[in-house]
Structure 1
Amino acid sequence: MADIEQDGRPALARRLAAEAVGSMLLTALVVGSGIAAVQLSPGQVGLQLVENAAATAAGLFAVILMVGPVSGAHVNPVVSLVDAAFGGLSWRDAAAYLPAQVAGCVAGAVLANLMFDRSAVSIATHHRASGAHLLAEVVATAGLILLIFALARSGRAERAPAAVGAYIGAAYWFTSSTSFANPAITLGRMFSDSFAGIAPASTPAFIAAQAVGGAVGCGLVRLFYPPTAAARAQTAQILLPPPDPAASGNGAEPRARRGAS
């Protein structure tokens, strides 16, 4: 079938569309909930952060369920690159995922601005690139990578939507940067001068810190979950059965489907 590749995955075009839409929705919910929080709770920054974090955690859970069966719901260049490094995604596909994710995140910021009757594009002025913020991004990104691939390599991939949503919601609070942990959404959030925005001058340092965090997380995954023939990360199919029946039980498919074939 034209819409299925030889390895059983959806065609690349479908996966790219899913990554773009998932990234758009994720950014729209982060930026939009930030705008709503400021409007509904003026002057109460702590409450605004509660509202923004809760909406992001719940929305991320939903986004992963929506597009996970198609593309794996990476919606994050660091996840795609680490997955390629582990062999779960080809480098060709990873290179295609990245622009889809960035375009989706920029579109999501524009969409959020428009939904709240703002200018479609407003360049953010919130400077965030202090040493503490950058350290926080390293920690947040490393933790996210470790979580995702720990689940994939230990047979618990079906828990990813709830676990990833919970982690990001918590990381809003235990990191000073509020856990961007995603280069694509960092770029997207430049285009909304709102609660969730980030000034363009802060963006390169944030992305560099996220890259370092991705490398740290990758190293921790290799340390805690060394690759074996029976336990390879295939996060690109985190909610799908593996195409190779011999790979069953490697953590790439939900337990509910393991006994169904």
Structure 2
Amino acid sequence: MSDSARLLQQRSFIELSARQRARALLDSGTFRELIDPFARVMSPWLERQGVVPQADDGVVVGKGLVADKPVVIAAIEGAFQGGSLGEVSGAKIAGLLELAAEDNRNGVPTAAVLLLETGGVRLQEANLGLAAIADIHAAIVDLRQYQPVIGVVAGSVGCFGGMSIAAGLCSHLLVTREARLGLNGPQVIEQEAGIEEYDSRDRPFIWSLTGGEQRFASGLVDGYVQDDAEQIQQQVSQWLQQGLPAQIRSRQSGFYLQRLAALDAQPQVDAGQVRALFKGEQA
């Protein structure tokens, strides 16, 4: 099959809404949404600050099957408030992960899939959002001792802030070429360090350092696929079949701290230097 014919057959994952992404990854007919929009559980803080709230607070959570294996799934809607998390949306994800951990303790082996399109904490909810994200971190660490927690960053929002830490805690992490992953977003870095250090308008430069292809080449994520719902579903299914990874990346802090200590931060680094740095090679 030619490349053009293959592209025509692909179904873009990025173009789907959060709810559509969740359904696309689960076995047909198995998705059961929890706390759906009709429950009207939304942020009590946004309207007070002149922001129109959303009935699901920008997060879709549910249960279903992937290749006949029980999973919980959370999908963040990047189109609502930049995918930022507040008190309610963060609690929905944390509660979902805690529910999965409880299932495992009761003899039901339930894994988790997190679809991460988020800028991190919602500024309008500040400390409440930070507390919720901390609960998500704790819940991931709890659940991943039983079953895999799989993170997917597809695009176009990327995954930043406290939720980039959540991504780093996942058992497996999957990205596309359009994805971005970093602790601080480009505009935040530019604001704090200056445009000479980081020009947020220079898209090729930004993707060369934080884009999905670069993160995969640097060994900071586990999988790299095209923007295709079927490819993403296949990789998620494969990891679920494999079970727990032999080694969790977040437990390799000693290696990464050693590599960062060897970095000369004075000159502007490029993509090749970053890849060599994290792979333990000579830059």
Q: Relative to total residues, which structure has the larger strand share, 1 or 2?
A: 2
Give TM-score, length-normalised by structure 1: 0.29
Higher helix share: 1
Higher-Rg member (1/2): 2
Identify which of structures 1 and 2 has the higher relative contact order when contacts are C-alpha pairs closer than 8 Å and 6+ apart: 1
